[in-house]
Structure 1
Amino acid sequence: MWSSEDLDLDAYLAFLGYEGDRAPTLGTLRGLQRAHVLNVRWDTLDSFLYREVRLDLPSLQDKLIRRGRGGYCFEHVTLFAAVLEKLGFDFTAVSGRVQLGADQYRPRPATHAMILVDIDGTRRLVDVGFGNSPLEPIELVDGATSEAGPWPYLLRWQEITHGSPGWAVHQRGDEESWQVRQVFTENPQYAVDYAVGNHFVASNDRSPFVIRPFVQRLRTDRYDTLDALTWTTERPGGTPSKQTVEPREVPKLLDDVFGIRTDTEEAALLVRRLTELAEAPPARQLPELPR
């Protein structure tokens, strides 16, 4: 179903630096999720530069593994689903609604891809495509938490949209409060469903990923983002630091800070598009990114 016959599993695991067990166990799942989130890069450059994001497995492996570029949730989850299928895991793909900046009465579309893995008599949320994703699977029970990464997460069963119940992933907000990051149900999704959502996110004029680039990198002690020309670094318990960068500085910043490689031609195109973005009159305020 997820084209695992086209997957070069050895190349993927080598890129992750993963040398652990390959049996479909919870320990393997934990190791793979942590290695994927920390090593496979996250960016929206294809949407910003080309208005096209390919989800076929050969293209994903070439882009994310061989060329060292980044992708967003549909790409990460499609690749990770092929890995899980190849290794024999029992799982279901699902879609979620990013809730940051929205509410249950004005929801965003369900365009965030995730996976639910059934293992050892439990069902666990595996979210490898958010950028600052959890570093471990979260058991699908009300009140479950994850403390594996630099920021904690809380899973609750609650009303999520217009009186409908479902699951909500909470993250730490200001003053140690919790805020809903994304909501989802257990309704199965398939590759064709992701193709539809991906088409909107990658190419529609109203998609924030078309308007400007967004890049993320999570480490165990910091979280960096590049939103257009604003570079932000956050550390657990610290105050975020922000600075504005010049378009010509971005390719080197991507390499040095985010670990994302662009070739000469793509770097030149990126600088040109960012220069045009910086010089364009502010016809409207850039929308908040659904991250």
Structure 2
Amino acid sequence: MSDSGAFDLDQYLAHIGWEGERRADLATLRGVHLAHMRGIPFENLDALRRTAPSLEPADLMAKLVHGRRGGYCYEHNTLLAGMLEALGFGVTRLAARVVVGTDRIESRPRTHMTLLVEVPGDPQPYLADVGFGAIGALLEPVPLAVGVESHDAGRRHRFVHLPQRGPLELWMLEAYAGEKGEKGEQDGGSWLAQYAFTLEPFERVDFEVINWHIATNPRSPFTQRLFVQRVAAGRHLLLHGSLLTETRADGEVREREVADEAEARRVLEEEFGIEAPDGMTLLV
């Protein structure tokens, strides 16, 4: 059952700054996806307080659209899915294993939410994902096809097939990470695995369980330290614990430590557009 009717499409599009067409076509899909990525930050403030954020449409609207807050994958992609369905796209919710930082796919549970989107009249499905909290995240949806390198708003992605462990094909999303050469150009980089998934549909109730686990389990990375990111044209900004990292499109990286709670709150407000709840400790 779709929740698209419970979302306010007008308010959502105004919040992310999308003024283009409202058609179920590829141009609209790409435009809305990129506008969402640049318009709503990724953050784990609820999980840092060991509180599972609500995935109810009204609560997502209140927090991500009307409030000075962001969210993590279940919130972002549930919101986007509802809006895309309201526009007339077909959406299948998928669960993926994040493999950044590990060589063993089976060592990670399926805890990431991503979306398979069907464009009316287009036989090619697309992977859309506005909730992946990493610099290798998609900026625009990319075609789900092996052997095709996609350039999405300056980033590069591709899919590879992995050996099957069951009856369904196993897909891996990879992102290209370039390195700066002697003259400053991007070269000598490599393809880095981001997450693996099958095309098995997952339902809202599945993500309610996963959401609760990730937000409340003391071993979850999202309950350990602050994790906030925002994408802008030409740069990616990340606050991980007390470390603020700015990565520019040309590969230049700048880092600095946030000194204390007061500065952390100021950085959240000025750099990310986030108003942290009163009384919460940010630098744990």
What's the TM-score once normalised by structure 1's chain length?
A: 0.87
Corresponding residue for residue 184 of structure 2: none
Point out 4+ residue stretches in structure 1 off by more than 3 angstroms: 160-165
Q: 1:55 to 1:41 in 2, by over 3 A?
A: same
**Post-superposition CA distance 1:196-223 (Å, at most 9, x none):** 1111111111101111110011112111
Corresponding residue for residue 174 of structure 2: 170
Give me the whole-angstrom Cα distance separating, in 1, the residues matched to 2:32 and 2:68.
18
Q: 1:103 to 1:160 in 2, by over 3 A?
A: farther
**Post-superposition CA distance 1:17-55 (Å, at most 9, x none):** 111111211111111111111101110001102422111
- The alignment's C-alpha RMSD in Å is 1.9
Corresponding residue for residue 131 of structure 2: 129
Tell me which moved more, 198-207 or 83-92: 83-92
Cα offset, 1:163, TM superposition: 11
Cα offset, 1:156, TM superposition: 1.6
**Post-superposition CA distance 1:260-289 (Å, at most 9, x none):** 223xxx243235xx2xx2xxxxxxxxxxxx
The answer on 1:185 being equivalent to 2:187 is no
**Post-superposition CA distance 1:143-175 (Å, at most 9, x none):** 222222343212222237699741111112464
Letter aligned with residue 179 of structure 1: L
Give me the whole-angstrom Cα distance separating, in 2, the residues matched to 1:220 and 1:163.
41
Cα offset, 1:86, TM superposition: 1.2
How many residues are treated as equivalent by the alignment?
Answer: 270
Tell me which moved more, 170-179 or 24-33: 170-179
Corresponding residue for residue 151 of structure 1: 155
Give me the whole-angstrom Cα distance separating, in 1, the residues matched to 2:105 and 2:138.
26
Q: Is the 8 A contact 2:168 2:198 kept in 1?
A: no
* Structure 1 gap segments, 5+ residues each: 278-291
Letter aligned with residue 176 of structure 2: R
The answer on 1:206 being equivalent to 2:219 is yes
The counterpart of 2:207, out of the listed 194, 201, 219, is 194
SS of alignment partner, residue 155 of structure 1: strand
Q: 1:161 to 1:128 in 2, by over 3 A?
A: farther
Corresponding residue for residue 255 of structure 1: 269
**Which has a greater percent of helix?**
1
Cα offset, 1:194, TM superposition: 0.8
SS of alignment partner, residue 234 of structure 1: strand
**Which has a greater percent of strand?**
2
* Structure 2 gap segments, 5+ residues each: 180-187
Give me the whole-angstrom Cα distance separating, in 1, the residues matched to 2:99 and 2:171.
12
Give me the whole-angstrom Cα distance separating, in 2, the residues matched to 1:22 and 1:55.
24
Q: Is the 8 A contact 2:99 2:105 kept in 1?
A: no
What's the TM-score once normalised by structure 2's chain length?
A: 0.89
The residue correspondences of 1:4-43 to structure 2 (distance < 5 A) are 4-43=4-43
